[in-house]
């Protein structure tokens, strides 16, 4: 069963009110205890999506809508409950500034929020619901912390229905309307004198305490800037682990006149002989919902893609500066140098058209620009971080550079980098030492190591 369809079903169930317990007139009632009732609803949702797509996607424009189809499914296919996703999210979002902002907003630090949410998720492993007033003192969680977390991630059934109705109002396919479970994965209902919180799709609770932290920090410009910087440092960390023994992996630095210095791209891969091999610009911007839900994402939202066009131009400007000795006169440029726009999310998945639009727009922007000659406009690959990490695990350093060069070719626009890696992996059989995400998690959230070693984490 496709989990993305299940998510749509739950949201639509919240939008449509239940029948009254004592209907004034006889009516048919759905027996939800029967499996065939569920399959009937599941098939009905798919039929509705198919019918809506006929009106939503203009005739002959299915290729433009392919990205949207992929975006809906990609996260589920990669997995939301993985060590790599948890580590990356907590690396990005668990800064001192983010903790301060989170605590001022909710009365609990971001780190403690993650721990309490993890404790709730652990209870839901064996039970369909948890009582929201049950004590968690045995694992070092105070009642105040418990209540703060439930206030953040849970809605009462009535409130959840209101949120879903408002969020999913208006035109558009039900498949691509907002899911309130991404923000509030728990729904609480009253049972006798107590309240119980149910988690319709438990995986989304893990997503809420990882990538979902973005919802809590997006309103602070300084924290958002720091998230971008931490994404750059994360890219250096991962890239250096995999290819740092064969190449120099360098982070951003200043160069040029001290009075008005320029900055290098975020990550540079340089040979031991000081030849530039890969120039990487990192883009941490998340894909806005109006892009995710659009049947023609680029042409309906061209201005949103400007940052990615800028990334290509930044790569080309730096190659020009290296060639002219402005950046470092001791460096040379390798014949197979390649650019990389490394994105936090998969902006260009399954969209060769959009990659071409971005590349053409960058060409137009740089045409006639002082110093940027045609030879400086190297091929640029566009890769999402999930795809980058997965690919690095599958091939050695030289193989990765070969894969990037092939991936940057127009006949591979819109492909996953990992697909290209598979095509050439037989030619590059170097052993690869996988990054230890579990140890990494213990570094960014020390309480996880306490749990691994059977200790109750310190609340301070």
- Where are the strands (E) in 236-387, listed by range? 248-251, 254-255, 262-263, 267-270, 275-283, 332-343, 380-384
pLDDT score at 202: 95
Q: What percent of the chain has pLDDT over 90?
A: 79
Q: Is the pLDDT of residue 333 over 70?
A: yes
Q: State pLDDT tens for residues 411-454.
A: 999 999 999 999 999 998 888 999 999 999 999 998 888 887 77
Q: Is the pLDDT of residue 145 over 60?
A: yes
- Residues 125/132, Cβ–Cβ less than 8 Å: no
pLDDT score at 19: 64
pLDDT score at 21: 61
128-157 mean pLDDT = 95
pLDDT score at 20: 64
Q: 451 Cβ partners below 8 Å, 6+ apart?
A: 457
Coil/strand/helix, residue 53: helix
Q: For the chain, give every domain's residue range.
A: 79-215, 227-438
Reported as half-sphere exposure (CB side, CA atoms, 13 A), residue 300 has a value of: 15
pLDDT score at 400: 97
Mean pLDDT of the chain: 92
CA distance 130 to 124: 7
Q: State pLDDT tens for residues 240-276.
A: 999 999 999 999 999 988 888 999 999 999 999 999 9
Q: What percent of the chain has pLDDT over 70?
A: 98
Coil/strand/helix, residue 283: strand
pLDDT score at 24: 64
pLDDT score at 451: 82
Any idea which fold 227-438 has?
Answer: Restriction Endonuclease (3.40.91)
């Amino acid at each position: 069963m496709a989990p993305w369809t299940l998510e749509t079903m739950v949201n639509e169930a919240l939008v449509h009110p239940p029948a009254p317990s004592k209907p004034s007139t006889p009516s048919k009632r759905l027996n939800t205890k029967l499996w065939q009732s569920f399959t009937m609803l599941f098939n009905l949702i798919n039929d509705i999506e198919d019918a809506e797509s006929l009106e939503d996607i203009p005739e002959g424009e299915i290729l433009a809508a392919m990205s949207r189809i992929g975006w809906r499914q990609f996260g589920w296919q990669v997995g939301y409950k993985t060590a790599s996703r948890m580590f990356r999210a907590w690396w990005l979002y668990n800064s001192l500034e983010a903790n301060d902002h989170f605590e001022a907003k909710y009365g609990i630090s971001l780190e403690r929020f993650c721990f309490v949410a993890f404790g709730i998720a652990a209870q839901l492993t064996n039970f369909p619901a948890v009582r929201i007033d049950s004590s968690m003192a045995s694992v070092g969680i105070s009642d105040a912390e418990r209540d703060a977390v439930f206030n953040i991630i849970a809605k009462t059934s009535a409130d959840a229905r209101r949120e879903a109705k408002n969020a999913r109002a208006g035109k558009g396919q039900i498949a691509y309307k907002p899911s309130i479970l991404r923000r509030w994965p728990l729904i609480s209902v009253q049972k006798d004198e107590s309240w119980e919180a149910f988690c319709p799709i438990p995986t989304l609770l893990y997503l809420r305490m990882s990538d979902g932290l973005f919802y809590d920090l997006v309103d602070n410009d300084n924290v958002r800037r720091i998230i971008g910087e931490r994404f750059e440092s994360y890219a250096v960390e991962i890239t250096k682990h995999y290819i740092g023994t064969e190449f120099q992996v360098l982070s951003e630095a200043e160069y040029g006149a001290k009075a008005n210095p320029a900055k290098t791209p975020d990550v540079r891969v340089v040979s031991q002989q000081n030849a530039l091999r890969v120039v990487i610009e990192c883009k941490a911007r998340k894909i806005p919902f109006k892009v995710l839900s659009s049947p023609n994402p680029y042409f309906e939202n061209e201005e949103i893609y400007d940052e990615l066009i800028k990334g290509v131009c930044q790569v080309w400007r730096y190659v020009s500066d290296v060639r002219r000795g402005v950046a470092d006169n001791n460096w040379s440029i390798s014949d197979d140098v390649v650019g990389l726009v490394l994105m936090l999310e998969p902006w260009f998945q399954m969209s060769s058209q959009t990659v071409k639009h971005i590349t053409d727009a960058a060409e137009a922007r740089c045409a006639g620009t002082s110093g940027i000659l045609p030879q400086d406009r190297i091929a640029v690959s566009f890769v999402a971080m999930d795809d980058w990490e997965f690919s690095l695990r599958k091939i050695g350093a030289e193989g990765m550079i070969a894969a990037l060069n092939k991936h940057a070719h127009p006949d591979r626009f819109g492909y996953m980098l990992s697909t290209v890696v598979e095509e050439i992996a037989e030619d590059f059989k170097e052993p690869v030492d996988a990054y230890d995400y579990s140890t990494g998690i213990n570094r960014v959230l020390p309480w996880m190591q306490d749990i691994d070693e059977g200790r109750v984490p310190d609340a301070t």
